Chain A
Amino acid sequence: SQKIEQNSEALNIQEGKTATLTCNYTNYSPAYLQWYRQDPGRGPVFLLLIRENEKKKRKERLKVTFDTTLKQSLFHITASQPADSATYLCALLRDYKLSFGAGTTVTVRA
């Protein structure tokens, strides 16, 4: 069966450090992989999309890699700030539908 797994443990990091989140998947061949941010009590907000033929992408302090051989994406928040504290979801697109991981909660300490 298809499965998407994200870091099972929450991440607690010091301000200024880099947070690295992992998204692993099995039995998928996604055309795209997306990352979303979700704050408590709110809906997810789109952050980044990376295509299957792209290896890495950067948007401001966010960096994403996509390894279709390893079936893994890494999401990095560099120079982290307390405002980056949230839950981050990865999602894979196939057909018209997104399938989401359970998310990783990141807390950045000042």
Chain B
Amino acid sequence: NAGVTQTPKFRVLKTGQSMTLLCAQDMNHEYMYWYRQDPGMGLRLIHYSVGEGTTAKGEVPDGYNVSRLKKQNFLLGLESAAPSQTSVYFCASSYSIELGNEQFFGPGTRLTVL
């Protein structure tokens, strides 16, 4: 099993450009999450999904959109990138809330917006 994979690993954008980050998991997990991690601030939840076809806003959703058309994939989009979106982005998935929602994380995408 590959677990949780993220594409791309690194990206540099200019202000105003758009891009999509792809997250894929092969564990048949229902729940998927997108976080950003900035120095000294820990992980902050951007958007999440509780199942195929569902999405919901997290703590810092502004400037991002997501889609979950297939159970195994969760896409994060930036329509018009801003320097404040320079960060490391992590995707995670989990199987069961009832079992405590242990989350499995991908390796991250390092995004720089100039």
Contact = CB atoms under 8 A, between A and B. Distances in A.
B24 to A, nearest CB: 14
A51 B35 CA distance: 24
A46 B97 contact: no
B74 interface: no
* A contacts with B: majority SS: strand
Contacts of B45: 97-99
B104 interface: yes
B40 to A, nearest CB: 6
Contacts of A10: none
A42 B58 contact: no
Contact of A34 (B31, B40, B100, B107): B100
Interface string B12-52: 00000000000000000001010100001111110010100
B101 A42 contact: no
Nearest to A102: B42
A57 B39 CA distance: 30
Contact of A44 (B43, B44, B48, B97): B43
Contacts of A79: none
Contact of B90 (A32, A43, A46): A43
Contact of A102 (B41, B90, B97, B103): B41
A49 interface: yes
A44 B40 contact: no
Interface string A63-101: 000000000000000000000000001000100111111
A96 B90 contact: no
Contacts of A4: 42
12 contacts: A34-B100, A43-B4, A46-B103, A49-B100, A89-B42, A96-B48, A98-B33, A98-B101, A99-B45, A100-B44, A102-B40, A103-B42
Interface of B: 4, 31, 33, 35, 40-45, 48, 50, 58-59, 90, 92, 97, 100-108
